[in-house]
Structure 1
Amino acid sequence: MTFRLSLAALALGTVAMPALADEINIYSHRQPELIQPIIDAFTAETGITVNIAFVDKGMSERLVAEGDRSPADLVLTVDIARLTQVVDAGVTQPVESEVLAANIPAELRDEANHWFGVTTRARIVYASKDRVAEGEVTTYEDLADPKWKDRICIRSGTNDYNVALTAAVIAHHGEEAAKTWLEGVKANLARKPDGGDRDQVKAIAAGECDIAVGNTYYIGQMMADPEQRPAAEAVNIVFPTFTDAGTHVNVSGVALTKAAPNKDNAIKFMEWLTGDAAQKIYAETNYEFPVKAGVEKSELVASWGEFTADTKPLTEVAKLRPAALKLIEEVNFDG
Structure 2
Amino acid sequence: MKRLVVVLAMLLFPALTAMASDDAAAKAEGTATFYANITAVEPIMEAFGADTGIKGQYTRISTSKFVATIMTEFEAGKLMADVVQGPLPVLEILKAKGVLAPYSSPAAAGYAEWTRKDDAIQLFGIEYVGLIYNKELVKAADAPKRYEDLADPKWKDKIVMANPANHATTISWLVGLKDNIFKSEEEWRAFLKGLAANKPMFVSSFGPTPAPVESGEKLIAISMPKYIITKAPAPLDWARLEQPLFGTPRAIAVTSKAPHPNAARAFVDYWLSGKAMGMLAKDVGEYVLAPGVFPPIDGMDQAKVLPIKDLSDEEIQKWGDEFKTIFDVQ
**TM class by smaller structure:** 0.7 to 0.9
Partners of 1:147 and 1:36 lie apart in 2 by 41
- Matched to 1:45, the amino acid is D
Deviation at 1:332, TM superposition (A): 4.9
Correspondence list, 1:117-266, <5 A: 117-129=123-135, 130-134=137-141, 136-157=143-164, 158-172=166-180, 173=182, 178-190=188-200, 192-194=201-203, 196-197=205-206, 199-223=208-232, 229=233, 232-233=234-235, 235-240=236-241, 242=243, 246-266=244-264
Deviation at 1:69, TM superposition (A): 3.7
Would you say the 8 A contact 1:26–1:53 is kept in 2?
Answer: yes
| Residues 67-126 of structure 1 deviation map (CA, whole Å, 9 limit, x = unaligned) | 34422221122x3443444344442233233432x132233331x233222233431111
Please state if 1:284 is matched with 2:290: no
Partners of 1:256 and 1:171 lie apart in 2 by 32
- Matched to 1:29, the amino acid is N
- Matched to 2:101, the amino acid is Q
- Identity among equivalent pairs (%): 20
Name the counterpart of 1:12. Answer: none
Deviation at 1:273, TM superposition (A): 0.9
Please state if 1:108 is matched with 2:118: no
Name the counterpart of 1:53. Answer: 59
Deviation at 1:214, TM superposition (A): 0.9
Deviation at 1:321, TM superposition (A): 4.1
Q: Which residues of structure 1 form unaligned runs of 5+?
A: 1-19, 224-228
Q: Secondary structure at the match of 1:208?
A: coil
Correspondence list, 1:1-12, <5 A: none
Would you say the 8 A contact 2:132–2:237 is kept in 1?
Answer: yes
CA separation of 1:194/1:39 partners in 2, compared to 1, >3 Å: closer, same or farther? same
Would you say the 8 A contact 1:198–1:219 is kept in 2?
Answer: no
Name the counterpart of 2:13. Answer: none
How high is the TM-score relative to the length of structure 2?
0.76
Q: Secondary structure at the match of 2:250?
A: strand
- Matched to 1:54, the amino acid is R
CA separation of 1:136/1:153 partners in 2, compared to 1, >3 Å: closer, same or farther? same
- Matched to 2:177, the amino acid is V
Deviation at 1:201, TM superposition (A): 3.2
Name the counterpart of 2:70. Answer: 63
CA separation of 1:179/1:266 partners in 2, compared to 1, >3 Å: closer, same or farther? farther
Deviation at 1:215, TM superposition (A): 0.4
Bigger mean CA deviation after superposition, 61-70 or 275-284 = 61-70
- Matched to 2:49, the amino acid is T
Would you say the 8 A contact 2:167–2:205 is kept in 1?
Answer: no
CA separation of 1:332/1:258 partners in 2, compared to 1, >3 Å: closer, same or farther? farther
Q: Aligned residues, how many?
A: 294
Would you say the 8 A contact 2:246–2:305 is kept in 1?
Answer: yes
Deviation at 1:41, TM superposition (A): 0.9
Partners of 1:175 and 1:54 lie apart in 2 by 38
Deviation at 1:333, TM superposition (A): 5.1
Would you say the 8 A contact 2:29–2:262 is kept in 1?
Answer: no
Kindly name which structure, 1 or 2, has the bigger radius of gyration based on alpha carbons: 2
Q: Secondary structure at the match of 1:154?
A: strand
Deviation at 1:132, TM superposition (A): 4.6
Structure 1 runs, 4 residues or longer, greater than 6 Å off: none
Would you say the 8 A contact 1:73–1:266 is kept in 2?
Answer: yes
Would you say the 8 A contact 1:152–1:210 is kept in 2?
Answer: yes
Please state if 1:72 is matched with 2:81: yes
Partners of 2:329 and 2:115 lie apart in 1 by 31
Q: Secondary structure at the match of 1:58?
A: helix
How high is the TM-score relative to the length of structure 1?
0.75
Deviation at 1:151, TM superposition (A): 2.4
Would you say the 8 A contact 1:93–1:258 is kept in 2?
Answer: yes
